Structures are given as C-alpha cells and as structure tokens.
Chains A and B, each alone.
Chain A
Amino acid sequence: MKEQDYDSHFSVPYLLILPSMIILTFFLYWPTVQSVILSLYRTAPFGARKIYSGFDNYINLFTDPTYRASLVRTSIFVLVTIFGGLAISLILSVLVNQKLKGIKIYRTVFFIPYAISPTVSGSLWVFLLNPVAGHINYFLDLLFNIQIPWLTNGFFAFIAIIIATIWKNMGFNIIFFLAGLQSIPDSVYESARIDGANSFQIFRKITVPLLSPTTFYLIIMNIIFTVFQSFGIIDIMTQGGPADATNILIYQLYRDMFVNFRLGLAAAQSVILLILVLIVTFFHFKFVSKGVHYQ
C-alpha cells in the first residue's frame, strides 16, 4: 500500500493514550489501591507509624454507634433528597416542555443552580434560613405565624441541607427529564387523547412510564451526587452539626482524616464508599445492557 495506512503506525494509538494513562494510574488507580491497603492498617496520628491490623478498622467502624448512625442518616438523606428532587424536577420539566414564546429563558433559569458550586449554594441558604435577618422565617412568620430554628435544631438542619442539595441539583435532573420528554413522540399523546384520557391520566400512564429509563439513570446519578457532593454544602451550612444531625458519611470521613488524623480508619471509610459506588454502577450497567427502552 502506498497511501498512509493508520493501522501501520502501530505505536501511535499507545502514544495518544499514554498521557491519560499516566495521570489515571498515578492519581486514580494507585490511590484507590492504596485506600484498600491503608484500610488494613492501624495508623498513629499523622501516619507516622503503621501496624497491620486486618479488618479491625472495618470492625471498629461497624461497631461504632456514631458511624452506624451516620450510615442510617446518609440513607435517609439520600432517599428524601432523591425522591423530593426528582418529583420537583419532573414537574418543572413538564412545565418548560411546552411550545411557548420565551420558554428558553425559563429553562435557563431552572438550569442556573446546577452551575453553582456546593459551597456557594450552602452560603446562600445559610443566609436565607438564618432566623434573624433571613427572609424565609420572615415569610413563614407572616403566613403561618411560625418561627423555625433552621440550623440550630437537628431535625431542621437536616431538612435545610436537603433543601440546599435539591435546589443545587435540580438543573441536572431537568436537563435530562426535558431530553426524555422531548423524545416522546406527539403521536403517543394524540392517540391517548383520542381514547379520552385526561391530562393527569396521560402524565401518570404515559409520561412517567416512558420516562422510566431517564428516571433510573437520574436515580443512579443522584445517589452519587448526594453521597459525595453534599460535602461543600454541609461544610458551609452545619459542619455536620448540631450534635451530628447532618453528619453524613462523607463528612465523617473528612473529620476522621483531617480533624482526627485517623488515616487507616478514614481509608476504610473510603473503601466502604467505593463498594457503594461499585454496587450502584453495577446496577446501572446491568440495567443499561438489558436495554429497557420503549422505542
């Protein structure tokens, strides 16, 4: 062959991949393997001395009431945030999935919070929810004559971080729901209408089932968001308090690592989170490969 045959440049593809592989190996794979190894050691503060201790770190974690409480708390946090977040996002998506002049402006508005960082989101909500100068309590007082101690009461602090997390992630869900809604052909709605279905029936019996692949994907992604990315929101709003009420797994990990300097214990917590991610991803891939599609 006279012409350039790219397959004959057998080293080229490896050269192209090399930079990515170097970074991924050293900054992703290596630390992950290290997490697993480190989790089997007991470490002195600042990691000066390491003693092999088998599964002691894991046993300690699962027998520690604080960690177990954090596990339960994280589960509730994830469930409530996902359920509330997806419900609100779905309603808003249906609203902006109309043919209307200027609809793009509303869409933009609904996407904006997603671009905003967790820390900024936390900061905005701390102000809104503060009892003295914040506007939320003022309106609640005006309308219902109640005052809520948002960040000083454990239960309400928990609700507060859920609100901030839902607000921040809403845009992501809407982007996907909107894409899902737009892929449902108009003919499906038309034939339902001809059969005499009303709007609510159409929503429940057609829109929601047809969106289920999108919804499933969003549930997976939202689990990852809420478990990992709420760190910034919590660190600004509550620092895990009051009295551990908002101390979810990722915050506990941060505390053990960078406040208590218990390296091995923190590594074991990383591995537990890693297993969680792997389980979630497993379901994701299983579902995707099964190809549950309606078209």
Chain B
Amino acid sequence: MRKSRKDFLNKLFTHLLLIVISFIVLMPILLALSVSFQPRDQIFSYPPSLIPDKLYFDNYINAWNLVNLDRLLLNSLFASVIVMFGKLALGVLSGYAFSHFEFKYKKTLFFAILFTLMLPMQVRVVPLFVFVSNLGLANTYSGLVLPFLASATTTFLMRQHFLTIPKSLMESAQLDGCGPFRFLFQILIPLSGPALAGLATVNFLVMWNAYLWPLIILNSDEMKVAQQGVKMLFTSASERDWGLIMAGTIIVVIPTIIVFLLAQKFFVKGIATQGIKE
C-alpha cells in the first residue's frame, strides 16, 4: 500500500511539473492569443492582463484588412499545395528508380541527388534570384514554387520506403506481366499511404513557412505570401498596435498548427526518418 501511494504522489508530481513546463513552452502562443482579443487600453493597462475581459474581435478584422490577409493566405495555400504534390510526385518517381531498378551510373546519380542536401537555399539565393528573374519568372507563382519542387529528402525517403516492400511482390507482378508503371501506381503507391502522408505534411509546411525566397522573388502586394504578411504587420500597423499584430500573427499560424495536429503522427515520423530540414 505504501509503495502505491508513493507511486501515486510521484506521478502527480510529474504531471504537475509537465503541466507547468507545457504552459511555459506554449506561453508565447497563449499570450499572443490573449492579447489578440484585447482592446488597446487593456493591453497597455498595468499590470498586463493574462485573460481578455471580453472577446474583442476588432483586432482580427483590422489585421485582416490592413495587410490583405485573404490574398496572402490564398497565395500561401496555393503555393504550399503545389509544392506538396509536386515534391511528392517527383520524389516518388525518382525514389522508385533507385529502389527497383539497376542501371548505369545509378550510384553517381543517387549521389548527385543526395548531394543537393548540402546546398541550402541561402547558399544559392543570389544567382537563383538572377536566374529566375532572367527566366521572366520573378513575381510569379512558378518562380516561387519551382526551386522548391525537387528534393533529395523526398527521393531518399521514398526509396527507403519502397525498399521495405517485399521483393517477392515485384517478382509476382513481373510474372503476371505487370509493367513497371502499373506496378508503381497500382501496387507500390497504395501501399505507401503513411509514408506519403508524412512527407506531404512536412513539404506543405516547408513552403508555408518559407520566408527568405518569397521575400526576394515576390514584390507586388497581390503576390506576397502569409509569412511576409507577418512582417507587413510590423511595418504598417500604427506604433506598436500589439492587439492587431498578434491577431494577424495568430491567423498566419493557425494553418500551421491545424496541419501539424492533424498529421502529427506522420509529421513526427517524417521528421524522425528524414531529419533534414530544408
């Protein structure tokens, strides 16, 4: 009996500790949420309040209108969905080549793809900007998404995943006269749901959260993306209108959190197996 009581107290203490730490970790988001619902005079009252007196929605409406958030969110959504599918498509195809085929220069080509992991956007941003501009793609959706489309990680992980699917399956498919493309689309892909979902989440967020490249390649207000909206909130809001700025920030982060929570299991797995951020 005494042991179980000690055990219970131990567990209780651990829970309390974890709850306190959780609040500290989430504090930046929780306080932003709280401030976003407060009118100006409550935000600047002393001591600052942790909970809004009543839900005040004007900050959201003002933030939305001030930086055209509807347009920015749509742009972000569009670009992120394109990158999500594009990367997946290219990665599935090339991953399949490396997992199920023997061909000349296979090793060299595989290395050539993996090596691009070592070329972060920031390292090539200067000539990439010049190149994309010369193609006439500055300030276009194509210019925004094209550099994100191919990825070593998606190729590598799809290859790793396809390798786990038993070889006997391919052999029997071959015997049945199933061609390589039919085998990919009718057998391999349907067997890869979780792997595809994990990569899709990560890739969606890579584009949704991207900032440097959009900042450089997009210059008109109707092309800009949500992350630039965060910066615009700071430059265009009147002197430290925190309620408005936090409301705008919350709007931009909501899709991130929804996608993360919906696909958390896959997301964490995707990260843990890939371990590479782009």
Interface residues of B in 11-36 (CB under 8 A from A): 11, 14-15, 17-18, 21-22, 25-29, 31-32, 35
Q: Report Cα–Cα, A135/B120, bound state, in Å.
A: 36
- A169-193 interface bits toward B, Cβ cutoff 8 Å, 1 = contact, 0 = none: 0101001100100000000000000
- Are the CB atoms of A24 and B246 closer together than 8 Å? no
- Are the CB atoms of B112 and A24 closer together than 8 Å? yes
- Are the CB atoms of A113 and B43 closer together than 8 Å? no
- Are the CB atoms of A14 and B103 closer together than 8 Å? yes
The DSSP consensus for interface residues of chain B is helix
- Are the CB atoms of A13 and B211 closer together than 8 Å? no
**Chain A interfacial positions (CB closer than 8 Å to B):** 3-7, 9-10, 12-14, 16-17, 19-24, 26-32, 34-35, 38, 47, 92, 95-96, 98, 100, 102, 106, 108-128, 130, 132-135, 138, 142, 167, 170, 172, 175-176, 179, 217, 221, 224-225, 228-229, 231-232, 235-236, 250, 253-254, 257-258, 263, 266-267, 270, 273-274, 277-278, 281
A184 to chain B, nearest CB (A): 16
Is the CB of B119 closer than 8 A to any CB of chain A?
yes
- Are the CB atoms of B102 and A120 closer together than 8 Å? no
Which B-chain residue is minimally distant from A280 (CB atoms)? B118
Q: Report Cα–Cα, A236/B211, bound state, in Å.
A: 11
Which A-chain residue is minimally distant from B132 (CB atoms)? A27
- Are the CB atoms of A124 and B131 closer together than 8 Å? no
Stretch of B52-60, B172-180, B190-198 with 4 or more beta carbons under 8 angstroms from chain A = B172-180
Q: Report Cα–Cα, A289/B67, bound state, in Å.
A: 50
Q: Which residues on A sit within 8 Å (CB–CB) of B106?
A: 13
Is the CB of B272 closer than 8 A to any CB of chain A?
yes
Query: How many chain B residues have a CB neighbour from A under 8 Å?
Result: 103
- Are the CB atoms of A13 and B97 closer together than 8 Å? yes
- Are the CB atoms of B227 and A34 closer together than 8 Å? no
B64 to chain A, nearest CB (A): 16
- Are the CB atoms of A133 and B242 closer together than 8 Å? yes
Which B-chain residue is minimally distant from A218 (CB atoms)? B275
Q: Report Cα–Cα, A14/B31, bound state, in Å.
A: 53
- Are the CB atoms of B122 and A133 closer together than 8 Å? no
B26 to chain A, nearest CB (A): 6
Is the CB of B139 closer than 8 A to any CB of chain A?
no
- Are the CB atoms of B124 and A124 closer together than 8 Å? no
Q: Report Cα–Cα, A121/B261, bound state, in Å.
A: 18
Say yes or no: A117-B93 contact (C-beta < 8 A), given A3-B177, A27-B128, A130-B240.
no
Given contacts A118-B209, A119-B252, A253-B125, 15 further A-B contacts (CB under 8 A): A6-B101, A10-B103, A14-B97, A14-B103, A28-B119, A32-B123, A110-B22, A116-B257, A119-B230, A122-B230, A127-B246, A231-B122, A263-B130, A270-B123, A273-B122
Is the CB of B256 closer than 8 A to any CB of chain A?
yes
Contact among B25, B100, B212 for A109, CB-based, below 8 A? B25
B121 to chain A, nearest CB (A): 8
Can you give 15 contacting A-B residue pairs, CB < 8 Å?
A: A16-B93, A17-B94, A17-B109, A20-B93, A34-B130, A112-B29, A123-B32, A123-B245, A123-B246, A127-B32, A135-B31, A224-B120, A231-B122, A270-B123, A278-B118
- B105-136 interface bits toward A, Cβ cutoff 8 Å, 1 = contact, 0 = none: 01001001100111111111111111100000
Q: Which residues on A sit within 8 Å (CB–CB) of B26?
A: 109, 112
- Are the CB atoms of A17 and B256 closer together than 8 Å? no
Nearest 10 interchain pairs by C-beta: A34-B127, A23-B150, A117-B209, A16-B97, A31-B124, A124-B28, A13-B101, A115-B260, A13-B97, A31-B128
B192 to chain A, nearest CB (A): 15
B80 to chain A, nearest CB (A): 12
A67 to chain B, nearest CB (A): 16
- Are the CB atoms of B240 and A133 closer together than 8 Å? yes
Contact among A10, A22, A232 for B227, CB-based, below 8 A? A232
Q: Report Cα–Cα, A54/B89, bound state, in Å.
A: 42
Say yes or no: A38-B113 contact (C-beta < 8 A), given A20-B94, A123-B245, A138-B48.
no
Interface residues of B in 227-269 (CB under 8 A from A): 227, 230-231, 233-234, 240, 242, 245-246, 249, 252-253, 256-257, 259-261, 264, 267-268
